[in-house]
Amino acid sequence: MLRKILLHGFTAGVLAALASLVYQQIYFKSLGADFSTVISTTGIIATCVGATLLASLGYFLVQRLLKSRAPAVFNLLLLLLSFASIVGPFAIKLPLELEAPELFPGLTVPMHFFPALAWLALSPLFYPMQVPAEKRA
């Protein structure tokens, strides 16, 4: 089961990284704000994959502890942690030579939600919902 959970996390991380890189390009092309000196392509990929692999380990632990309630509890924790993580882009001190530093949160805040969205979007593929026999008719 751990292998399946880790595969889910890795796949979600790759999907989140792809979404983040596409979003970064759209943001750059539409606003001309280049933050490539602050956040690199490698950093985006590593952060997305690392976050979802860490989430996988968290899901494994929650599943071990809470059994049937694990998905709901984990999804709530994932949501709360995603919201808590957006403090980072507002707290970071950017280099003074950057143009339009006020646009930095607009780039990075949405990226903080991409790993959670990818995790939730792929969950039905990895853990199909089981309908109890008595409810099938």
pLDDT in tens, 31-48: 888 888 888 999 999 999
Whole-angstrom distance, CA of residue 68 vs CA of residue 106: 37
Q: Which of 130, 111, 126 is nearest to 59 (CA)?
A: 126
Instruction: Check residue 36 and report its DSSP letter.
Output: T
pLDDT over 70, % of the chain? 94
Q: Is the pLDDT of residue 135 over 70?
A: no
Average pLDDT, the chain: 90
> What pTM did the predictor assign?
0.87
Whole-angstrom distance, CA of residue 131 vs CA of residue 128: 9
Confidence class for position 67, pLDDT limits 50, 70, 90: confident
pLDDT over 90, % of the chain? 66
Whole-angstrom distance, CA of residue 55 vs CA of residue 119: 9
Residue ranges in 32-103 assigned as alpha helix (H): 41-66, 70-85, 87-91
Whole-angstrom distance, CA of residue 105 vs CA of residue 102: 7
pLDDT at 90: 86
Whole-angstrom distance, CA of residue 118 vs CA of residue 115: 5
pLDDT at 102: 85
Whole-angstrom distance, CA of residue 18 vs CA of residue 79: 20
